[in-house]
Amino acid sequence: MASKQEHLVCELLCPLRLPNKSRRPTWQTGSRSRPFLRLKGYTASNIRASSSSAELPDIIKQVGQSLWGKGLPPGALVGAVRSAWTSGWAIMMKQLAPSDKQGGYQRPKSKFQKRLLNPVSVSDHGRYHLYVSLTCPWAHRTAIVHALKGLGDAVPLSIAVPNETGLWEFRPHQGMSTDHHILLPTVDRAHKKARLMDVYKLTKGGYDGRATVPMLWDSFCEEVVNNESADIIEILNMEFNIFACDPQLDLAPPHLQSDIEKWNDLIYPNINNGVYRCGFAQGQEAYDEAINVLFTTLDMLEEHLASSKFLCGDILTLADIRLFTTLYRFDPVYYVLFKCSKKKLLEYPSLYRYLGEIFQMSGVAATCDLPTIMDGYYKVLFPLNPGGIRPVIPVSSHPTSLCGDDKQRAVSSSIRLSSTP
Ligand SMILES: N[C@@H](CCC(=O)N[C@@H](CS)C(=O)NCC(=O)O)C(=O)O
C-alpha cells in the first residue's frame, strides 16, 4: 500500500498521467484516482528539504527515468513544457522590456528631468546626492563624470547592487579589501534605506514607478531632481565647479556642442540603446533590424576613430563617456547575453584603442567593476539566462588588456575574480 508521504511526492512531482501503460514500471495505483510515482529513498519531506540543494537534479532524473526510461521525453511533454516556458518568457519579457507590436524594445522615459534651479554655492556641499550602481551602463556614465571632475563628497555617492529580482538594494561590501582600487557598494548614505525604491518613495508627492539608477537627489528639498543619465552628466559637468578638483575640465565645451549632439543622436538609439534592442528583442524581425543598425554604426565609428583620437577630435567629451560604458560591456556581456555577436569589439582595432584610451584616464578604471557588471547581467536578467551561469571571457576582453604595461599590475590586483557578488 502507498504511504501518505508517497502520495505527497506524487502531488509535488507528478501531475502528469502517462499515456502508455506499458511504460509504467514504477507506477502504482494509489487509493486516490490519481496515480503516483514511487521514488526510491525519497519522501515528501526529504524532497522539500533538498529542493534547494544539488540533490534536486537527481530527483528530476529519477522522475524522468520512471516516466520515459532512458529515451527522450515524449513529444507531447516537450511541447507542453515548451509552450508553458514560452508563455512565461513572454510575460517576464513584457515586464522587463516593454515592446512595440513587432517585439522591438521600447525604453520607458525617465520620469524626473529637472535641472538645478539656482547656482550651487559653498553651502550646498553634500546637498545633492548621486545614487548609482556599477553594473548599469547609464549610471556608470555619471560615476565616470563624477570621478573625472573630482567631485568627491561634495556630491556624495551611494552605490547600490541588484538583488536577484533586479531591484536595487544597499548591501555594503563586507571584508578586508584595503587595497581595492574599484569603488565598492555602499549603504544608502543619505537616508539609510535598504532599497532604492524606498528612497524614491520619499520624494515630494510620492512615487511608485520604477526605481532606476542613476538618480540625483536633493537633500534640502527632499526630492528626486533627475533620473536621466544624459541630463545628470551635464549637471555634474557644469554645476559643481566650485567643489571640483578639476574645474577646468569641460566635457561639453560650447564650440563642440553641436558636434556632441550629433554623435549623441546617432549613438544613443543605435548603440547605447541598440544593444538593449538586440538583447530585449521579442521577435526575429526586431532583432534583425536592431543588429543591423548596431553593426553599421560600429563600422562607421571604427572608420571615424581610425583618424580621430576621440569622437570630437582631441578633446574628450560627454559623447565619448556615453559611448565608453557600452563599449566596455560589449565583449563580456552584450556579445554573449544580448546576441550582439556579428563581431567582437576586439575585431575593431580603432574602437578597442579608444576604449583603452578612456579606461586609462585617471579615476575611470575605479568605476569599471567587470565581475560586478557580469553578475548584474548574467545572474539578474533571468529571462535571458535562466541558469544564471556567468561565462568565462577571453583574456583579451579583460580590463588588464586595456591598460598600458605599467598600469596592469595595479588594476589587475584590484579585480575580484570570484563570482560571488
Ligand atoms: N533613461 C535612464 C535609464 C536608466 C535605467 O534603465 N537603469 C536601469 C539599470 S541599467 C534600472 O535602474 N532599471 C531598474 C528598473 O527598470 O526597474 C538613464 O539613462 O538614466
14-67 confidence digits (pLDDT tens): 433 334 433 333 333 333 444 444 555 555 555 555 555 566 667 877 887 887
Cβ of residue 294 lying under 6 Å from some atom of ligand 1: no
- Residue 53: CB atoms within 10 Å: 9
User: Could you give the CA distance from residue 238 to residue 115 in angstroms, rounded to a whole number?
Assistant: 11
Q: How far is the CA of 345 from the centre of ligand 1 (A)?
A: 24
Active-site residue identified among 14, 136, 278, 368: 136
Atom of ligand 1 minimally distant from the CA of 139: 20
| Catalytic residue check, 136 | yes
pLDDT digits (tens, 9 = 90+) for 143-191: 999 999 999 999 999 999 999 888 999 998 776 554 468 999 999 999 9
Cβ contact 415:400 at 8 Å? yes
Q: Is 310 helix (H, G, I), strand (E, B) or coil?
A: strand
> Does residue 138 line the site of ligand 1, with CB under 6 A?
yes
pLDDT at residue 91 in the model = 84
- Ligand 1 pocket test: pick from 212, 337, 374 the residue with the most ligand atoms within 8 Å of its Cβ: 212
Asked if the peptide bond before residue 214 counts as cis, ω within 30 degrees of 0, the response is yes
Answer whether 132 contacts ligand 1 (Cβ < 6 A): no
Cα separation of 341 and 205, whole Å?
44
pLDDT (0 to 100) of residue 251: 98
DSSP strands (E only) in 142-284? 157-162, 168-169, 215-218, 223-226
Q: What is the pTM of this model?
A: 0.82
Of the two residues 161 and 90, the one the predictor is more confident about is: 161
